[in-house]
Structure 1
Amino acid sequence: MKWSQALKDYQNYLHIERGLSQNSISSYLLDIKKLMKWLETNTIEESPEKITDKTIQEFIYQIAKEVNPRSQGRIISGLRGFFNYLIFEEYRKTNPLELIESPKIGRKLPDTLSESEIDAIIQQIDLSMPQGERNRALLETLYGCGLRVSEATNLKISDLFFEEGFIKVTGKGDKERFVPIANNTIKYISIYLKEIRVHQKINEKAKDTVFLNRRGNPLTRAMVFTIIKDLTEKAGIHKTVSPHTFRHSFATHLLENGADLRAIQQMLGHVSITTTEIYTHIDKSHLTKVMEQFHPRK
């Protein structure tokens, strides 16, 4: 089996059988491509079925010099999954990463913005421009509903249930969830839809998509990153701010104001409560207040 064929077969497996999103699939394939490039650079001719533990160890030793422990751990995990797939398909009997341990890394706390910083970023939007109303509605949705950037760019008009106070969100693995939406966010989306979007020439495939670019196509992830980066710089905020920062801030502010962790888990679409629990590490003072308020031996 050639590497190119193994890569293609694995891609189909991740898409059809695992039901992963294109972004997740691309990340998995990138790890394998790094190994393929290293083999080619070092003129090592070992097929996916025959590659040895020793060769993999040499590759891991090399990347350890080039990337941080977190990235190294992700690559090891990605390759381990690929070789487990080859075992599942009976191309191999053993996993060459079986005895390779991922580097120990601390749990990275997500970056957050304060409410005043979010307001400052949104205030930089030029509402005299047609895309201004769109950008305000977009940022209010990212923060007000805690969406991933792909969830926001894929949001459909048919997913908006404003009278019921919910929106339907399609998350990782095409899993759907209903997220409450505040009146404030409803107001800004409605302004954009009724005053700006309605006057656009929209491509047929984007008729049901909420957030569009000037050409009537869905906004791309890259464009959302650019919009937020530019507004953050104009606001004079010296933090690395991305669309995900708004999602982190949504969860953090809910927790700080007394929201139940299970409720936050459902709104974020986390499969495991462990993923949501990272937010409890952000503000220790909040936990202290909870203890003082609710423990019988306070």
Structure 2
Amino acid sequence: MSSTRAASDVDDPIGYFIEDLTYHGKTERTRESYERVLRRFETFLHAETTPGTATHRDCMAFVHSLRGEVADSTVATYAAYLHRFYGYMTEVGAFEGNPMTLVMEEMDETVDKDPARRDIPIPTMRAFVAGIRHPLHRALVVTLLKTGMRVGECCNLDLRDLSIEDEELNAAYPVGERPVLADRPNSLYVTSEATVGETVNGEVRTASNKRKRGTVIPIDDELSRTLKRWLAIRPDSPSPAEPLFVGTAERWGKRLDPQAVRHVVERYSREEGWYRTGGGAAENVTPHYFRHFFTTHLRDRTGDRGVVKYLRGDVADDVIDTYTHNWGDQVRETYVENVYRLLA
């Protein structure tokens, strides 16, 4: 373990830092983001300079090299990653000081906490979905767009979390077996229990659901058809949990993880010109953008912020209880009457 080694004797300080992020409980996605930025900085340095010997001028030159190539908020994010790296390595005794301190004080760029995201009209998004032919890929994208759920929540769905009124489907798959769905057909249940490393429904999870309470989300005829089309070709899974979304390539039959879903969305977004390496949240279309799209358009159509917050799973217990007890009249009817159409 890294804690058993003297930090000052580490040959690869970036590797040491990333390893410690693991012990601090940071997600794989966070670790990959840090390593990508730090390795980029390492490559930027002159051959005779290492991260351990870099000066504040080396750091300034690196930050300056990013300007014009990535968004201002991304420049600020990269700088913050580098600052944290140096601050940590200084604290553990590997480096003598943090050369990023002065750089951060003089920077004009800031991390944009609420970026003005790309504005995609519904007809344009409809054309985007029409170009996705693979049943799995289309099911993932339509599910995210129609429910506003987080990518980890999408990955954690099991067949028991899906309820569709279809005799043939119900005879072929163990769908809708959760008691909470017994009187709520044509819906999805997003649990609040899934956590990375914990066993849920017989399977150790690789993604966490961030909801404080479980949520029943209605699904319309478009999402129902899309999911039935996917289930018609879904590979059998070795997992006792029977994941809804499983791999059809390298990880045949195994539950998809968030990174795999992000890669799917990135592929189609790049083809559409909606994704650029180095682009920020204001530019790139990602699974999280779909959550933003859902929130914006459904809120505008319904004028009911409470229902949208309930569906997103980010409201207080008393509000959740209100909509849970009046689910059929207030949630389903509002959703079905106002959700946008995505399929031709």
Q: Which residue of 2 is the match for residue 181 of structure 1?
A: 217
Matched AA of 2:148: G
In the TM superposition, what are the counterparts of 1:114-263 in structure 2 within 5 Å? 114-123=121-130, 131-132=134-135, 134-149=136-151, 151-157=153-159, 163=181, 166-168=189-191, 174-177=208-211, 178-184=214-220, 187-188=224-225, 191-192=228-229, 195-197=232-234, 200-202=235-237, 204=238, 208-214=242-248, 215-219=252-256, 220-221=260-261, 222-227=263-268, 241-256=285-300, 257-260=302-305
Give the whole-Å Cα distance in 2 for the aligned partners of 1:36 and 1:179. Answer: 45
Give the whole-Å Cα distance in 2 for the aligned partners of 1:248 and 1:175. Answer: 17
Q: Which residue of 1 is the match for residue 115 of structure 2?
A: 108
Helix, strand or coil for the counterpart of 1:141? helix
5+ residue gaps, structure 1, are 234-238, 271-298
Contact 2:141 2:265 in 1 (8 A): no
Give the whole-Å Cα distance in 2 for the aligned partners of 1:190 and 1:114. Answer: 24
Structure number with higher helix proportion: 1
Matched AA of 1:247: R
Determine what percentage of the aligned residue pairs are the same residue: 19
Q: Which residue of 1 is the match for residue 44 of structure 2?
A: 38
Give the whole-Å Cα distance in 2 for the aligned partners of 1:47 and 1:208. Answer: 46
Contact 1:113 1:246 in 2 (8 A): no
Displacement after TM superposition at 1:184 (Å): 1.8
Matched AA of 2:219: N
* Residues 168-208 of structure 1: per-residue CA shift (max 9 Å, x gap): 376898353244411327734762575332xx344x35963
* Residues 149-179 of structure 1: per-residue CA shift (max 9 Å, x gap): 4543454446655706531376898353244
Give the whole-Å Cα distance in 2 for the aligned partners of 1:261 and 1:57. Answer: 46
Matched AA of 1:12: E
Q: Could you state the TM-score of these two structures normalised by the residue count of structure 1?
A: 0.65
5+ residue gaps, structure 2, are 1-7, 163-177, 197-206, 275-282, 316-344
CA 243–45 in structure 1, closer or farther in 2 if over 3 Å, else same: closer
Contact 2:18 2:35 in 1 (8 A): yes
Q: Could you state the TM-score of these two structures normalised by the residue count of structure 2?
A: 0.58
* Residues 230-285 of structure 1: per-residue CA shift (max 9 Å, x gap): 6999xxxxx97544442221111233232438963982769xxxxxxxxxxxxxxx
Give the whole-Å Cα distance in 1 for the aligned partners of 2:191 and 2:151. Answer: 15
Give the whole-Å Cα distance in 2 for the aligned partners of 1:139 and 1:243. Answer: 8
Give the number of aligned pairs: 253
Displacement after TM superposition at 1:210 (Å): 1.8
CA 16–67 in structure 1, closer or farther in 2 if over 3 Å, else same: same
Displacement after TM superposition at 1:4 (Å): 5.5
Matched AA of 2:224: K
The more displaced of 30-39 and 181-190 is: 181-190
Q: Which residue of 1 is the match for residue 81 of structure 2?
A: 78
Q: 1:15 aligns with which of 13, 22, 25?
A: 22
